[in-house]
Amino acid sequence: MAQYLKTLFVTFKKKDIKYCYKTDFNGNGEYHAVLKKIWKMELKKDSTFADGVLTSTFDYAADAKLRAAYEDPNNSFNPFSTGIDEDSYEDRKQFLIFILGRYWLLRGKQEVAYLTWSKIKFCKTIENGVETEYVEIKHDFDKSHEISIQNTVPRHETENSARIYPNPNDPLCPYKFLKFYRTLCPPHQDRVFCMLASPSQCKQHADNGHAYIYNPKRPVGVNKIDNTVLAKRMGFENPDRCTAHGNRKLGITTVVTNAPKDCNKVILEASRHKSIQTSLTYQKVNEDNMESYQKAICRKHVLPPNDNGNAKRRHKATESIASTGTIEHSVTPGIVT
């Protein structure tokens, strides 16, 4: 029905008919009135209709749960393994799907599956007199900047991308992992996600002094990009809805929650959104928001809860995750941009 209305609006534009889609079509028997009636009928049959119950989501404690699993000696999760067995392959693939959305804010299955190494930039820069490395992913065209007859120019090189720096304090540092993953792929490999090379191919690479274990001629299809496998394994909340696009929501929520106010321009360009309001729609209320609200609502006439108490609760939560795999409170590291 929405497509029919879109076609009607195109016709209105061609014939120079003036209208306002927000205020017109609300009378009895007109589009909006009929649509509201249909929605009410559907809600009577299914109370979850149009409430977003099947949309992608995320677990705000995902980072903590992943690190707890990686550091648990009884858990086999190890994305840094160089094994050519199926389990090692899946660990690397699932973790890469996660971090591409979580840190570099890639959208859904399409952007992840068709990502090429040419879009991934391993860069160096001088910051405060010190040489610093980082990784960013540049998108020429995407959902919010589609190629068309009216738009034939790719995104400008000066637009900011999500810039991820090395973090020696993070055992699952995304920068470290992506550099590690690149060493396992032949230099001429185009697509980032490819199937494993055959044992004979791996042996041939090893004989030549290389550690390559992927086959550039066998790229992974879109249907193989499934983050819910990792979500179920790690005990994420609502794992069936923790999709690849949910990773992007987690990244945007984390950066919007933790970034200072002057970071809005970087957030917009990194997430490739046209307005900060769009980024805010991705945000799910979390513990950090509630603590910020508590401090704000107290203002200056009364001291907010002290940080020592918060630190104790967070430490207790970390111990709880490591021992039980569940979480009461979580603190997710922010995106470095």
pLDDT surpassing 60 at residue 115: yes
The single-letter DSSP state of residue 116 is B
Tell me what pLDDT residue 163 has: 81
Q: Token digits for 171? A: 């055992």
Rounded Cα gap, residues 67 and 171, in angstroms: 7
**pLDDT confidence of residue 330:** 34
One-letter amino acid at 332 equals T
Structure tokens at 215: 């086959």
- Cβ-proximal residues to 301 (8 Å cutoff; 6+ apart), any chain: none
Identify the CA nearest to 159 among candidates 174, 144, 147, 173: 144
Question: How far apart are the C-alpha atoms of 222 and 110, rounded to whole Å?
Answer: 6
**The pLDDT value given to residue 312:** 46
Per-residue pLDDT, 143: 63
Q: pLDDT value at position 305?
A: 56
pTM, full prediction: 0.69
Return the percentage of the chain with pLDDT > 70, whole number: 67
Tell me: the pLDDT tens digits for 142-180? 666 566 776 667 666 666 677 888 999 999 999 999 999
Classify burial at 290, counting beta carbons within 10 Å of its beta carbon; exposed 0-12, middle 13-18, buried 19 or more. exposed
What integer pLDDT is reported at residue 273 of this predicted model?
A: 66
Q: Are 318 and 64 in contact (CB under 8 A)?
A: yes
Least confident of 12-26, 97-111, 219-233, 261-275: 261-275
Pairing of strands 120-127, 194-196: unpaired
Q: Residue 13 class from Cβ within 10 Å (0-12 exposed, 13-18 middle, 19+ buried)?
A: exposed
Among 132-136, 232-236, 247-251, 264-268, name the one with the lowest average pLDDT.
Answer: 264-268
Q: Encode pLDDT of 64-83 as tens digits.
A: 999 999 999 999 999 999 99
Among 57-61, 93-97, 232-236, 254-258, which is the least confidently predicted range?
254-258
| Domains recognised in the chain with CATH numbers | 2-45 (no CATH), 62-324 (1.10.443.10)
Strand 120-127, strand 214-219: pairing: unpaired
Q: What is the C-alpha separation between 25 and 34, in angstroms, rounded?
A: 9
Which candidate, 245, 210, 224, places its Cα nearest to that of 56? Answer: 245
Please spell the DSSP secondary structure of 13-38, one letter per residue. Answer: HHTT----TTTSS-STTSHHHHHHHH
Report the C-alpha gap between 66 and 61 in whole angstroms. 9
What 8-state DSSP symbol labels residue 318?
H
Contact of 124 with 254, CB cutoff 8 Å: no
Per-residue pLDDT, 333: 36
46 CB neighbour count, 10 Å cutoff: 10
- Residue by residue, DSSP assigns 120-172 as EEEEEEEETTEEEEEEEE--SSBTTB---SS--SPPPTTS----B---TT-TT
Q: How many residues does the chain have?
A: 337
183 pLDDT above the threshold of 80:
yes
Would you state the structure tokens that stand for residue 195, as one six-digit string? 């199937």
